[in-house]
Amino acid sequence: MNIGEASSATGVSAKMIRYYESIGLIRAPLRTGSNYRVYGEDEVHVLRFVRRARTLGFSVEETATLLGLWQDKSRASAEVKDVATSHITALETKIAELQGMVKTLRHLAHCCTGDNRPDCPILDDLAGEHPVSKGH
């Protein structure tokens, strides 16, 4: 399997496969005589693992940790759970942050007539003028 086939078999772009190799996330595969990378089932399996971890929002670094744990037959599941739970916490922090933004913006947008007149509570808020009251 060359890199293009491995890419479509895993959903990881060829660019990213080379990148992951360059940063040491995945091992360098064998090459053909003409210097083409050759991938087998094992490599594809690893790439799918990486893709799934990235889809779940793990950073490349966290993914490397998880890959290491995956390949360590004697790991304790507690270690994996720790990585996962602290990632959950980070995600929830981010979600709360975004929700705070949405809440404020929804309120401002609600107060904005959205017509042809120039008066705009959204801009007033950004400018720090006439602070918009929370109740309405």
The binding site for a second copy (CB under 8 A) comprises 45, 48-49, 52-53, 55-57, 66, 69-70, 73-78, 80-82, 84-85, 87-88, 91-92, 94-95, 98-99, 101-102, 104-106, 108-109, 112-120, 122-123, 125-128
Query: Cβ closer to a second copy: 2 or 93?
Result: 93
Task: Specify the DSSP element, H or E, that contains 30.
Answer: strand 30-31
Query: Cβ closer to DNA: 37 or 107?
Result: 37
Cβ at position 36, least distance to a second copy in Å: 26
Burial level of 46, CB count in 10 A (0-12/13-18/19+)?
A: buried
**CA–CA dist 81, 77 (Å, integer):** 6
Cβ at position 45, least distance to a second copy in Å: 7
The entry of a second copy, DNA, none near residue 35 (CB within 5 to 8 angstroms by kind) is DNA
Please state the φ and ψ torsions of residue 30, each to the nearest 5 degrees.
-65, 165
Cβ at position 21, least distance to DNA in Å: 8
Both tokens assigned to 67: 């890959």
C-alpha 39: how far from its chain's center? 25
Cβ at position 61, least distance to DNA in Å: 6
Who's near 57: CB < 8 A, 6+ residues apart?
Answer: 87, 91
Query: Cβ closer to DNA: 32 or 74?
Result: 32
The entry of a second copy, DNA, none near residue 26 (CB within 5 to 8 angstroms by kind) is none
Helix, strand or coil for residue 68? Answer: helix
